[in-house]
Amino acid sequence: MSRIGNAIITIPEGVEVSFADGLVTVKGKKGELVQAIDDAIKMNIEDGVITFTRNSDAPDVRSKHGLYRSLVNNMVIGVSEGYKTVQELVGVGYRAKAQGQTLELALGYSHPIVLELPQEIKVTATMEKGKNPTVELESCDKQLIGQVAAKIRSLRKPEPYKGKGIRFKGEQIRRKAGKAAG
């Protein structure tokens, strides 16, 4: 029995949800998102509440029950409140500069790294004296913002000896001792 799939989703004010031909469309003040839903999962919208039911207890159908409920819940939260991730660049000489949808990073390589970000994502880069540079991503699409944040982090993962690299704000890095002095 799926506990997540059986949970209801309450639709906040200002959010419009429609379901037709296997496609869920969620519109709100932050944007509009569309997601396809498998035929085995039935979605019911009434009185500002969304519920999900499945037509069989096969293992693959049971796994999709909670999946689609979570995806639609993330869409409802995204168009009403939005999602935000903050990453910090830890290292000497690491810099970030954002212009429109272009993010330019200096991460200790021989060349700057330039990333073109999707239109759905709003990016800001801040550099304050005495603090690590930060890159802030905002979007209504949780999947897309997570994918872009993972791509940025993969350019220079935090290393365990000095802690240099790109990390999420508040992330704890397990540190290693390194060589013992002889």
Query: What are the pLDDT digits (tens) for 93-148?
Result: 999 999 999 999 999 999 999 999 999 999 999 999 999 999 999 999 999 999 99
Provide mean pLDDT across the span 2-27.
91
The SS3 call for residue 182 is coil
Residue-level pLDDT at 5: 87
Q: Is the pLDDT of residue 4 over 80?
A: yes
**Does residue 174 form part of some domain?**
no
Number of H helices, E strands in the chain: 3, 13
**Does residue 52 form part of some domain?**
yes
Instruction: Using pLDDT thresholds of 50, 70 and 90, give the confidence band for residue 24.
Output: very high
Q: What is the DSSP string of 110-151?
A: SS-EEEEPPTT-EEEEE--TTS--EEEEEES-HHHHHHHHHH
Residue-level pLDDT at 124: 96
**Token pair for 3:** 């506990």
Query: Do 136 and 62 share a domain, yes or no?
Result: no
State what percent of residues in the chain have pLDDT above 70.
Answer: 98
Residue-level pLDDT at 9: 94
- Encoded amino acid at 120, one letter: E
Please list, in sequence order, all residues whose beta carbon lies within 8 angstroms of the beta carbon of residue 133, skipping any fewer than 6 positions away: 88, 89, 94, 95, 96, 125, 126, 127
> Rounded to the nearest 5°, which phi and psi values hold at 146?
-65, -40
Residue-level pLDDT at 178: 84
The CATH number covering residue 45 comes to 3.90.930.12
**Residue where one domain finishes, among candidates 60, 80, 100:** 80
State what percent of residues in the chain have pLDDT above 90.
Answer: 83
**Does residue 27 form part of some domain?**
yes
Query: Do 161 and 91 share a domain, yes or no?
Result: yes
